Amino acid sequence: MLDETFRALADPTRRSIIDILAAGDRSVGELVDQFDFAQSGISRHLTVLERANLIVRRRAGQKRICSLAANPLEEADDWIRRYREHWGARLDRLEVHLAEDEG
């Protein structure tokens, strides 16, 4: 799952799509208009984002509206935070060590 999440985020176009959707929902066509790629390319990017549970698409007449998923990036955030906390903890230990040397 983390594989799919991080891989989805590794593409700048897909991150841009997420940025746009963070400002509000958009139809597929509205998203296509924001980029210089063919409609088929954007459609596939949306499929990648959807399979990574980062966005959802719902029908609204002929259009399909894209929005951010309900609770996305939780797993990715957890992973990164755990890792960064590890790093922070090691720094703290280093500081303690230095303080002990001084005392």
Partner DNA sequence: CCATCTTATTACTACAGTGTGATATATCAA
Partner DNA sequence: TTGATATATCACACTGTAGTAATAAGATGG
Binding site for DNA (CB under 7 A): 7, 10-11, 13, 27-29, 32, 36-41, 43-48, 57, 59, 61-64
Of 26-34, 41-49, 58-66, 75-83, which part binds a second copy (CB under 8 A)?
75-83
Q: Could you give the residue ranges of the DSSP H alpha helices within the chain? A: 2-9, 12-22, 28-33, 39-51, 74-102
Give the x-and-dash track for 22-41 against a second copy (CB under 8 A): x-------------------
Residue pair 66/55 in contact (Cβ under 8 Å)? The answer is yes
DSSP single-letter state for residue 68 = E
Q: List CB contacts of 18: < 8 A, sequence separation 6 or more.
A: 9, 49, 54, 55, 68
Listed ranges 33-41, 58-66, 84-92, 95-103: which one lies at the site for a second copy (CB under 8 A): 84-92
Dmax (CA) of the chain: 72
The residue ranges that bind a second copy (CB under 8 A) are 2-3, 6-7, 9-12, 15, 18-19, 22, 68, 71-74, 76-77, 79-81, 83-84, 86-87, 90
